[in-house]
Amino acid sequence: MSTKRTVDVAIGTSGLDEQGRPRRAPLTVNEGGTVTTLEPPPALEDALELEGEHMLINLGPQHPATHGVLRLVLELDGETVVRCIPHIGYLHCGFEKIGEYRQYNQVIPWTDREDYLNSIGNNVAFALGAERLFGIEITPRCTVLRLIAMELSRIISHLVWLGTTCIDIGAFTPFLWAFEQRERVYELLERWVGARLTTSATRVGGMAADIPAGWMDQLQHFIKTFPKTVDEIDRVLTTNGIWVGRTVGLGVMSADEAVNYGLSGPMLRASGVAFDVRRDFPYLDYETYDFEVPVGTHGDVYDRYLVRMEELRQSTRILAQAAARLPDGPVDSDDHRVVLPPKSKAMSDMESMIHHFKQVMEGPRPPLGESYVAVESPKGEKGYYMVSDGTAKPVRWRIRPPSFVNLSAIGKMVEGHLLSDVIAINASIDIVMGEIDR
């Protein structure tokens, strides 16, 4: 460990211990005083020694319906799942560790790549976290633009979820209807930031670019026409006998269980817990927008489907409100610590040139401290925790990935169901392996 990382943090409840290492959550202790540890998953060799009629089947990591490289080792009795052992880590990229060697603005491209269906939302979330660390106020225009970015990103993610879930349950057509609309959102993003999937759209203190001329008209057109597709898919699926039969009563999580497993996002709301970070811990002025938080009652796959469908409509509603109130003015804040001087000044004025050079080569330095920002990502509560030791690079960057926490409940949800249901339940969690393995 480099000496640079041993720091004395004075403010707040620190995330670092005396040695400068991030603190760990204490182990849970039962009333009797024994430390509870989870039963370790059986080694594959042990599990392979199956007796009787049971069959061990390896679902993934290369399987069309595991949404990436999730691997589920299933013990089947006929087609009934007796045991489900999830294996993760096939997409481990070390994002958090890489972040410790990057300046704050340089971390933003890495946030694109973890939950790649919500890349622009991650950009915004990371920028919000970094700005909290720096103590920067963003401009009103930037606030609204970021909110538009987050809701567009939610629409993309939910559309991909909807499409892939349809394929998993055997309906191919809504997948392409959903992807056609997703393409329209990507066109919007492409015009705005020049990239589609890996947007890297934000900077600490502002955005990479303001929206181009005519962009709002395109957005308005999208807002107007998009609900039509949602309604179409709704007509094809919501009352379809097979769809209902395939999703109702599947992978039920009661409200208590959902809370105890730490689920968040549509998974939690489908179980009847009305928790939405946007409403309960508002950021980006979400409290000033008029939107509903859809809540399910049964906590099954069907309710998760209904909740996400409604969220698509609510996101469109929020987008319409945001588009109506987008103020003029600058996008980037005027905080000299993070914002580059204009190019013309940097090329003519010595101080500005030095400032520009220092900003680019060394990066902005936040004060000592730490920040945690949670946003409502399409998958649930997404948190970015970062600790600063006063240098230009975070000493620790930690992601709270909603997919990872939601996936932890899969064993509970699928056991006792059939093999086909494993696919449907896995789809209903809406996982992105990039976020889980990080």
Binding site for another protein (CB under 8 A): 34, 39-40, 42, 46-47, 49-52, 54-55, 57, 63-65, 75, 77, 79-80, 82-83, 166-173, 176-177, 180, 236-237, 239-250, 300, 415-421, 423
Contact 287, 313 (CB under 8 A): no
10 Å CB burial of residue 43 (0-12, 13-18, 19+) is exposed
Q: Which residue has the tokens 């945001």?
A: 322
Cβ proximity to another protein: between 79 and 257 the closer is: 79
Cβ proximity to another protein: between 149 and 160 the closer is: 160
Pick the closest to residue 248 from 174, 300, 191 (CA basis).
Answer: 300
Q: In the bound complex, what is the minimum distance in angstroms from residue 50's beta carbon to another protein?
A: 6
In the sheet that 80-87 helps form, which strands lie side by side, from edge to edge?
A: 55-59, 71-77, 80-87
Q: What CA–CA distance (Å, rounded) separates 130 from 105? A: 9
Residues in the chain: 438
Q: In the bound complex, what is the minimum distance in angstroms from residue 187's beta carbon to another protein?
A: 16
Count Cβ atoms below 10 Å from residue 64 Cβ, excluding itself: 10
Q: What CA–CA distance (Å, rounded) separates 348 from 360? A: 17
Q: Give the torsion sign (CA, 175, 178, 183, 189).
A: negative
Question: Residue 143: enclosing H or E segment and its boundaries?
Answer: helix 140-169
Cβ proximity to another protein: between 65 and 331 the closer is: 65
Q: In the bound complex, what is the minimum distance in angstroms from residue 243's beta carbon to another protein?
A: 5
Q: In the bound complex, what is the minimum distance in angstroms from residue 70's beta carbon to another protein?
A: 14
Partnered with residue 383 across adjacent β-strands are 374, 400
Q: In the bound complex, what is the minimum distance in angstroms from residue 235's beta carbon to another protein?
A: 11
Cβ proximity to another protein: between 162 and 284 the closer is: 162
Cβ proximity to another protein: between 243 and 286 the closer is: 243
Q: In the bound complex, what is the minimum distance in angstroms from residue 19's beta carbon to another protein?
A: 28
Q: Which residue has the tokens 């497993």?
A: 261
Q: Supply 431's token pair.
A: 């996982």
Q: In the bound complex, what is the minimum distance in angstroms from residue 421's beta carbon to another protein?
A: 7
Task: Please enumerate in sequence order all residues whose Cβ is within 8 A of that of 239, keeping only pairs 6 or more positions apart, or say none.
Answer: none
Cβ proximity to another protein: between 176 and 324 the closer is: 176
Pick the closest to residue 142 from 203, 197, 185 (CA basis).
Answer: 203
Cβ proximity to another protein: between 169 and 331 the closer is: 169
Q: In the bound complex, what is the minimum distance in angstroms from residue 309's beta carbon to another protein?
A: 15
Q: In the bound complex, what is the minimum distance in angstroms from residue 34's beta carbon to another protein?
A: 8
Q: Give the torsion sign (CA, 297, 300, 303, 309).
A: positive
Q: Which residue has the tokens 């393995």?
A: 437
Q: What CA–CA distance (Å, rounded) separates 63 from 253? A: 25
| Secondary structure (3-state) at 234 | helix
Cβ proximity to another protein: between 148 and 427 the closer is: 427
Cβ proximity to another protein: between 83 and 279 the closer is: 83
